[in-house]
Structure 1
Amino acid sequence: MEQIGFDFGVEAPRKLTKVSPARLATFEDCPRRYRMSYLDRPSPVRTGAWAHSTLGAVVHNALRALFDLPVVKRVPQRAMALVAEHWKDAGFEDADQAARYRARAKAWVAEYVEHNDVSVDPVGLERWVSAPVTLEPGSGPSLIIEGRADRIDQRGRELVIIDYKTGRREPDEYEARSSQALALYAVAAARTLRTPCYQVELHHVPTGTIAAAEHTEQSLKRHLQRADETAGDLRLATDTLDAGGDEDVLFPARPGRRCSWCDFRPSCAAGQEAGPAAQPWELLAP
């Protein structure tokens, strides 16, 4: 099977928009948060660190460092030591809570190494991938998708996108298949590394769950079409803002439950009115 049935042209008749999965997800979730994250200068006041983000970063960094080691050193004990080396206490309630989650994180990565094949060298760790995308035959690319994938493996003649998760909920096949981020990484990795990529996986480190999905050209194209639509809205709002448009009209707030733990809550009245502020450790996996 050859990937991908999209025309990756090099001549663009219109302004290209560079987008990452994070930028697209932020704009879809809350345009105001997108503006504050990527456009406002100086950057608005943010909250402090979140414990769940700290925990996720530590686990990601430890597993990345593990795969940088020779195969003979990729053992549970070394994985636990890497958690300790990368550990930070930012966002935790106190030293006792931080110590409990440090111990949990050590156990998670040790079990991950114990129960998964870590003897194969990935073709990418925190690898930056990028691809221009053309959806209409005969036209130039309308956007460039880019981003940094947690891990890219090669199995046989195809690539596999792997994303680590440390949150409360175990992912399933539907989540893996519906993830726009994973789909865009698959397209970009195929272009960057010139190797077909259809398989995507979510590795939930706390439980050892691996949620996998196999994409087709049609399913990848649906994700690209959605990304292209969002990128078009984003580009129009940004260009209109640059021309003097009203920032609150172009990038409206979308108040909701997530406002309780939004990084920009201190700078957003609508978010503050949506509900009480969450404690920095409330989203930790139980």
Structure 2
Amino acid sequence: MEQLGFEGMPRRLYSCTPTRLSTWLDCPRRYRMSYLDRPVPPKGPPWAHNSVGASVHNALAGWWRLPLSRRTPQAAGSLVTTGWISEGFANDEQSARYRDWARSLVEEYAAGLDPADEPVGVERTVATRTDKIAVSGRIDRLDARPRADAEGTELIVVDYKTGRHLLSVDDARSSLALALYALAASRALRKECKRVELHHLPSGQVLAWEHTPESLQRHLRRAEDIAEECADADERMRAPLPREKYDEVFPPQPGPACGWCDYLRNCPEGQRAAGAPRRPWDALAEL
């Protein structure tokens, strides 16, 4: 029997994260496998570069939770060592080399921080909503710094990066996630938040972008548009959608990035696009 509805009733808010929205943009098939398929298809082996990134993020978050007197560069490095994630490496020797490298990155980065300059939040979850979406996400670090053009302080979104590729200011400007974090932080804490920063530890670069209210609203409208597509696809999946029609709603987007997909083993199109198989440690930075 068809479920009775009420004409003109507003659509339920679409709950999402920036990662969910970007997954849909990258590949609707991967989106389905990640968020809708039950049971979730088996993933490939863990990636070593993700282990490096998680180890560094965890160490920097833990450093800010230490008592002020213990916030030294050496303590930050020790947190890398004690919390090291060794999954995805070719062998113990390779894991140890990258552990030592990551430790040196974190120690050098921590040496440039003022341990007494307490962030507003570390690994802080923020959320906001419109009449279409309820979006949430976790910020690596949220700072409060003196405003350059007025009295008081403003919030700054800081995102740590450990990848081997150099970044540019455009990466900060175009990041949907950073813009949504800035909007959510501003609304939650009732303080202006327009500046977003990417801190690339391997190069020591800080890539910053100063948003305007207009640019933040453009990112928000973009998020709503993507969410609308996701919501339509989700509803069709729940209808339920016959398996033979999956690709009509969730088509694959094969390309060079398929080699890094966790679900590559379940995607013939992705396997053809990926070419030679990627080893779990192939994305590590050159030492």
Aligned to 2:162: 166
What is the correspondence of 1:1-286 to structure 2 with a 5 Å cutoff?
A: 13-133=10-130, 141-156=131-146, 157-245=153-241, 246-274=245-273, 275-286=275-286
- Cα shift at 1:225: 1.1
Sequence identity percentage? 48
CA-to-partner distance for each residue in 1:227-266, whole Å, 9 max, x for gaps?
1110011111111121133221111110111111100111
> Which amino acid letter does the alignment assign opposite residue 277 of structure 1?
P
Alignment partners' CA distance in 2, 1:90 and 1:32: 26
Paired residue total: 268
My pick for the range that moved more, 22-31 or 243-252, is 243-252
Q: RCO greater where, 1 or 2, for CA within 8 Å and sep 6 or more?
A: 1
TM-score by length of 2: 0.90
CA RMSD of aligned residues (A): 1.2
Runs of at least 4 residues off by over 4 Å = none
Is there any run of 5+ residues in structure 1 with no aligned partner, and where?
Answer: 1-11, 134-140
Is there any run of 5+ residues in structure 2 with no aligned partner, and where?
Answer: 1-8, 147-152
Q: Name the SS for the 2:11 alignment partner.
A: coil
Q: Name the SS for the 1:59 alignment partner.
A: helix
Q: Name the SS for the 2:52 alignment partner.
A: helix
> Which amino acid letter does the alignment assign opposite residue 187 of structure 1?
L
My pick for the range that moved more, 243-252 or 215-224, is 243-252
Could you tell me whether the CA contact under 8 Å between 1:108 and 1:207 is conserved in 2?
A: no
- Cα shift at 1:118: 3.4
- Cα shift at 1:13: 3.0
Alignment partners' CA distance in 1, 2:16 and 2:154: 25
CA-to-partner distance for each residue in 1:105-136, whole Å, 9 max, x for gaps?
01100100112333211111111111012xxx
Alignment partners' CA distance in 2, 1:242 and 1:189: 33
TM-score by length of 1: 0.91
Alignment partners' CA distance in 2, 1:45 and 1:276: 20
